[in-house]
Chains A and B, each alone.
Chain A
Amino acid sequence: MNSTDTPAVTMTQAGFVEGMRRTLPILPSITFYSLAFGAAAAQTSMSLLEATLTSFMVFAGAAQLVALELWREHWTLTSLFGIALIVGTVNSRMILMGASLHRWVGGLPPGQLWPMAFFFTDATWIIGERYRAEGGRDAGVVFGSGILLWALWWLVTIPGYLISSLVPDPKKFGLDLVMPIFFVLMIVPVWKGRHDLAPWGIAALVAVAVWWLVPGYAFIVTGALAGALTAAFLPERADA
Chain B
Amino acid sequence: MPEWSEQWFGLSWGALAAITGMMLATYACRAGGFWLMQHVPLTARVRRGLNALPGSIVVATVVPLALRGGLPAIIGIGCAFIVMARLRNELIALIAGLLAVTLARAAGL
The residues of A with any CB-CB pair to B shorter than 8 Å are: 1, 5, 24-26, 29, 46-50, 53-54, 57-60, 63-64, 67, 71, 73-75, 79-81, 83-85, 87-88, 91-103, 105-106, 113-114, 117-118, 120-121, 126, 129, 171-189, 196, 199-200, 203-204, 206-208, 210-211, 219-234, 236, 240
Contacts and interface: CB of A to CB of B under 8 A. Distances in A.
Given A59-B26, A91-B25, 16 more contacts: A47-B11, A48-B9, A50-B12, A57-B20, A80-B18, A80-B21, A83-B22, A84-B22, A88-B26, A94-B32, A100-B33, A129-B54, A180-B65, A189-B88, A227-B55, A233-B45
23 contacts: A57-B23, A71-B18, A75-B12, A75-B15, A98-B32, A98-B33, A99-B50, A106-B37, A172-B106, A174-B101, A175-B98, A181-B97, A182-B94, A184-B58, A184-B81, A196-B52, A200-B56, A203-B59, A207-B59, A220-B61, A223-B59, A232-B45, A236-B48
Contacts of A181: 76-77, 80, 94, 97-98
Contact of B33 (A54, A94, A126): A94
Contacts of B32: 94-95, 98
Interface residues of B, number: 80
Contacts of B37: 98-99, 102-103, 106
Chain A residues touching B, majority SS: helix
A97 B94 contact: no
Contact of B61 (A79, A173, A175, A180): A180
A176 B56 contact: no
A200 B80 contact: no
Contacts of B83: 185
A176 B69 contact: yes
A63 B102 contact: no
Nearest to B20: A57
B76 to A, nearest CB: 6
Interface string B51-84: 1111111111111111111001100110011011
A98 B19 contact: no
Nearest to B13: A75
Contacts of A230: 52
A17 to B, nearest CB: 17
- 3 closest cross-chain pairs (CB), A and B: A98-B33, A227-B56, A223-B60
B64 A207 contact: yes
B107 interface: no
Given A5-B42, A203-B56, A219-B64, A60 B26 contact: yes
A234 B81 CA distance: 29
Interface string B29-55: 111111011100010111111111111
Contacts of A229: 49
B50 A58 contact: no
A185 B93 contact: yes
A67 to B, nearest CB: 6
B44 A100 contact: no
Contact of B60 (A63, A171, A203): A203
Nearest to B36: A99
A78 to B, nearest CB: 12
Given A177-B77, A196-B55, A67 B22 contact: yes
